[in-house]
Structure 1
Amino acid sequence: MSGKAVPTKSVHTLASSYAPGRAAADLGLKRTELLLAVQLGLVRTIAGQEPGRWRIPRAEIERLQSAPGFPHALRERVKVVGTTEGAELMGVTRDRFTKLARLGFLAPVKFYLNRYRTLVWLYLADDVRQFAEANASLLSGQAPVTLRSRLGAGEDRRARSWRERHCSHLLSLADGPWQTAAVTASMLDPTQVADIVPDPYERAYLNRLRPESTNLPGGPDSPTAEVAARVLQADDPDEIRWLRTTLGLVMDQARNDHPAPRPDGEVPAPVTAFGPEQGDGGSLRDADTIQPDRPREEATQEASGEPATQGRKRRRALLSWIGRGNG
């Protein structure tokens, strides 16, 4: 993704770049709109001098300013809508729009709590328009039986659709297998992570590398923090199973890359491709459960962390699996 922060030690590069506040003003965006533009890959960033900080190169601002339709076109690409405005854009009722979102046809990009402490989802206006143009048959008449049965069973994929989109962005920023594992672990309940990663030093290292959720509403002490944390964690059985499997495989690669920091002289316990040596206890991480149609030899190569599956190829595979899950 073009929104990835590219680390650099060049003083000249940092000097010819702007902090987010200045960049947002020059681009005619609000701070929240700029953050969303970065997450969508519309604006390229570079790493700042402090960990977790980023800046916008002057050349990137000039590129965007010279684009056709600036600044209106850029603002339109990051425009978000709620249920009412989204339904109007699509030409359907609020109820139908909500049902389509619950079924996973529309992936939220943001959420917040209203004054009644109700979770409100926001969607990209561009996504809504494109969906309406490509799926006219779903905008009127009775929905197919399969969709009605899923709604009748209480299906609601909005939180999962947001997580998949959020996770995809975080994975695009991950630098190496340990950060990739930290992204995956951040979507799981701590008890799930402890089951897959029993070594306390490895879990501590994953926590240190845990990505900052900068697009979550409010700060860590805000009234919405608890709700935001709940939305961030997977709650669907299939989603949890996929994340557990993925975490197990990526941890194998991370351990092969380098061990987690630990007190001097302490030797880490031996770990197999399926977690600690505990017999069949790690069967959920069997590589064949991710893509059962592939030869077992190829899946075994993935779990062993051989060169063909390392680095960017691993992250591209994870992004691909996420996209397929959202479908």
Structure 2
Amino acid sequence: MPVDTITQSVPTTLRAAVGGTTRPALPQSRAARELGLKRSEFDLAVRLGRIRTVPDEGGGGRRVTRAEIDRVASEDGFPEALREQVRAVGTAEGAALLGVTTPRFTRLARLGLVSPVGFYLNRYRTVVWLYAAEDLRRFTEDEKHAPLLRGRTPEPLRRRLDAGLDLRARNWRGRHLGSLLRQANDPWARAAALASLLEAAQVEETVPDPCERAHMNRFAPEPPSRSAAPDSPAALLTRRIMTAEDADEVAWLRSDLASALVEARADRPAPRPAARPGPEQGPGPECRPASPDPDPEPNPDPDPTPVADADPDHRSDRASGRHRGLLGWLRRGDD
């Protein structure tokens, strides 16, 4: 699988002189229009590192500098080449690209051999996974994958499938976390990205200080789907997909969250409420988790957000004996 492009932090407003004027960074919806992309295509381009975004100094959603728009628009084959790079397909079209049947494609995805880049829920509340067409083309070009595309699935892999292996949700979480970490320009934001994939009780055990949890929560990333009501079935299912399930995945996240907290504390301690003067006044006010800043820019594009195949079963492989940290794994990228 391809390695996601690493993005760089740049100032929010590009102060390039053009006839004595400044060139402010644009909201993402405006940037998508200028690049001729649907919002779903633009969002996937950002997640894959094709388009770099920067934080808004005013506290709003992330923005895109004019320099970045100029860079993307100047690439060879623009805009058709960019659209092809961010084209996402479902199971049927993905199977056609690989030249295999739909059931075989689903097996490859469950085994983690092709990884989703997004998902959405259809009208029946079934998870529809979407895959990057460019990933699938590269998969077919690798000769070592030829036996997986023809003939019987090897017996060891069939046994894992029979045992219920399904790595789609887990692999999506890995790519999603990689995107969050690339965009995080603050150590507390990196900690919040890791915490976003854990159960609340696991975060509380790893970060026992309520003031640190409250401060970290200010940097909590937006969920992939913002249109569903918080307690709706769609929101609950999305949250299930976003939450690590296997013991080794949870252990990786908690270990890396603890390491990220060490870096965040060294950068700056979490703010604490001032204590009331005098012992008769009692203890100072408690730290309370703050809600993350709302994104002022809704997603107007009705198209689903890209990532791979339809199946509501999200069980993951109980892999054992792995000792690499999750961040190290992400930084390696897909081989």
Q: Given the two structures, how large is their TM-score scaled by the length of structure 2? A: 0.76
1:177 to 181, 187, 195: 187
1:120 to 112, 128, 132: 128
**Residue type of the partner of 1:73?**
A
Q: 1 CA distance for matches of 2:9 and 2:238?
A: 24
**Residue type of the partner of 1:6?**
V
Question: Does 2:216 align with 1:206?
Answer: yes
Q: Is the 8 A contact 1:182 1:207 kept in 2?
A: yes
Q: Is the 8 A contact 1:177 1:254 kept in 2?
A: yes
> Alpha carbons of 1:204 and 1:18: their partners in 2 closer, same or farther (altered >3 Å)?
closer
- Higher RCO structure, 1 or 2 (CA under 8 Å, sep 6+): 2
Question: Does 2:227 align with 1:218?
Answer: yes
How far does residue 242 in structure 1 lie from its aligned partner after superposition?
Answer: 1.1
Question: Does 2:263 align with 1:253?
Answer: yes
Q: 2 CA distance for matches of 1:136 and 1:323?
A: 27
> Alpha carbons of 1:97 and 1:128: their partners in 2 closer, same or farther (altered >3 Å)?
same
Q: 2 CA distance for matches of 1:71 and 1:103?
A: 34
Q: Is the 8 A contact 1:45 1:57 kept in 2?
A: yes
Question: Does 2:16 align with 1:8?
Answer: no
Deviations 1:123-180 (A, max 9, x none): 0000111112211111011122221111111010000000000001111122233222
Moved more, 60-69 or 198-207: 60-69
How far does residue 62 in structure 1 lie from its aligned partner after superposition?
Answer: 2.7
Q: 2 CA distance for matches of 1:82 and 1:217?
A: 21
Q: Find the counterpart in structure 2 of residue 270 from structure 1.
A: none
Instruction: Considering fraction of residues, name the structure with more helix.
Output: 1
Identity of aligned residues (%): 50
**Residue type of the partner of 1:162?**
W
Deviations 1:83-142 (A, max 9, x none): 000001100011100011011111111101111111110000001111122111110111
Q: 2 CA distance for matches of 1:22 and 1:52?
A: 14
Q: Is the 8 A contact 1:3 1:38 kept in 2?
A: no
Q: 2 CA distance for matches of 1:290 and 1:177?
A: 23
Moved more, 163-172 or 204-213: 204-213
How far does residue 59 in structure 1 lie from its aligned partner after superposition?
Answer: 2.9
How far does residue 261 in structure 1 lie from its aligned partner after superposition?
Answer: 1.3
Q: Find the counterpart in structure 1 of residue 42 from structure 2.
A: 34
SS at match of 1:194: helix
SS at match of 1:6: coil
How far does residue 66 in structure 1 lie from its aligned partner after superposition?
Answer: 2.7
Q: Is the 8 A contact 2:14 2:66 kept in 1?
A: no
Q: Is the 8 A contact 2:53 2:63 kept in 1?
A: yes
Q: 2 CA distance for matches of 1:4 and 1:53?
A: 17
How far does residue 238 in structure 1 lie from its aligned partner after superposition?
Answer: 1.3
SS at match of 1:112: strand
How far does residue 257 in structure 1 lie from its aligned partner after superposition?
Answer: 2.9
Question: Does 2:199 align with 1:195?
Answer: no
2:70 to 50, 62, 83: 62
**Residue type of the partner of 1:120?**
V
Question: Does 2:51 align with 1:47?
Answer: no
